[in-house]
Structure 1
Amino acid sequence: MATFPLGLGLLKDSENTALFVIAITSMWPTLINTKFGVSNVDKSYLDVARSLGASKWRTIQKVILPAAAPSIVAGLRISIGIAWLVIVAAEILLGGTGIGYFIWNEWNNLSITSIITAIIVIGFVGLLFDRLFGLLQHWVSFGRQV
């Protein structure tokens, strides 16, 4: 959220700034895990693709991406959690719409029951996102049970 004032100064629009902050804060786990997954592709897979005469694009498409997919999805799983937290925080700061704004408004109205309900909804949606990406991660992993 420290990039929020910087984004407001550069973009001059609160909605674009919110998107900028969400992107900046949530992209790093995916980028780091993608780099990790690609750099840990077994060299023998690449040697086989090269010996069979696969082009660079074919090697990326058929060898590197499937081998790195579990790491990439793990990064996406972390990123979606971070993005969800930042979305709620950005809504609190921006005001106007969203569950973050609702929580802030209910805090100002001293409606603790509504705040707790909203927190439970936020937690449930976050858990749902995590479970969906967990299933996707299991689906792209090697050795999965069919």
Structure 2
Amino acid sequence: MALLIWQILATQGVLGKNFPGSVKTLEELVWWLSDPFFNNGPNDLGIGTNLLISLRRVLIGYGLAVVVAVPLGLVMGISRIADASLNPFVQLLKPVSPLAWLPIGLFIFRDSELTGVFVIFISSIWPTLINTAFGVSSINPDFLRVSRSLGASQLRTIHKVVLPAVMPNILAGMRISMGTAWLVIVAAEMLLGSGIGYFIWNEWNNLSLPNIFVAIIVIGFAGLLLDQVFGWLQKRFDYQL
């Protein structure tokens, strides 16, 4: 139904002159998916190739963010001193637009690939960090007292008590962080070159609106699949079910 309405509006010119309809967009989608991984140079890549470039940047930056955010969140949740020391910096940096870090990354790294990873890292670290710290601080203190009374060390308490209890919060933060990373990479790549974001910018310069919609569809489905993975993991570690 949505595709039909889209086609009618485009045909009647309601959305503007030469606005592509759903039929033209689907034709272009089929063409791009028929050979998605071709590589004819940096400005002529298949949509699958561009998608893999974006996914690579996202997974590296996101993975680094998780490696930093989870331990730091555990420390902030366990130690009031650490929370009081680090929380002001978190609240200061968290609202900053990820794209504001783009020129900083370009100046430091002088490389578009590393800059893309850096922007993803700095934008996706906060939800996981905050959710982890909140989850740890919300653990029933009786659990920790029982663990200590049984002679468990701090590391063993974290491994056996804290981590299992806070895992749903960690995964919720990771899910939000992945959504943020996937949003940011598209905007960042319009300036960095290559990737699905650059594909959209390049097609705009070519005045090819159908191909822009093709990219939007691909981005949406990729984001949906990533979100479904984290949704499954959340259900797997939801101990209240």
Same fold? TM cut 0.5: yes
In 2, Cα distance between the equivalents of 1:93 and 1:37?
37
In 2, the alpha carbon distance for the partners of 1:99 and 1:11 equals 21
Letter in 2 for 1:132: V
Shift of 1:74: 0.5
- Return the offset for 1:143: 2.2
Name which of 155, 159, 164 aligns with 1:57. Answer: 155
| Alpha-carbon distance in 1 for matches of 2:116, 2:122 | 10
Q: How does 1:30-109 map to 2 (within 5 A)?
A: 30-95=128-193, 97-109=194-206
The structure number with the bigger radius of gyration is: 2
- Correspondence for 2:125 among 19, 27, 41: 27
1:133 alignment partner AA: F
1:44: Cα distance to partner? 1.3
Percent identity over the alignment?
A: 63
Q: State the shift of 1:113 in Å.
A: 1.1
CA RMSD of aligned residues (A): 1.1
TM-score of the superposed pair, with normalisation by structure 1: 0.93
1:118 is aligned to 215
Measure, in 2, the Cα distance between the counterparts of 1:71 and 1:119: 30
Structure 2 spans left out of the alignment, 5+ residues = 1-98
Counterpart amino acid of residue 138 in structure 1: K
Q: Which amino acid aligns with 2:176?
A: I
Q: Gaps spanning 5+ residues in structure 1: where?
A: none
**Which residue of structure 1 aligns with residue 226 of structure 2?**
129
**What letter is aligned with 1:17?**
T
TM superposition score normalised by structure 2: 0.57
Q: Return the match for 1:12 from 99, 110, 115.
A: 110
Q: CA deviation at 1:139?
A: 1.1
Alignment length (residue pairs): 143
> What is the CA-CA distance between 1:130 and the residue it aligns to?
1.2
Deviation string for 1:91-140 (max 9, x for gaps)? 21111x21111111111111111111110111111111111111111111
The one of 63, 85, 101 aligned to 1:3: 101
Q: Indicate the residue corresponding to 2:23 in structure 1.
A: none
Structure-2 separation of matches of 1:132 and 1:93: 29
Segments of 4+ in structure 1 off by > 3 A?
none
**CA offset at residue 66 of structure 1?**
0.5
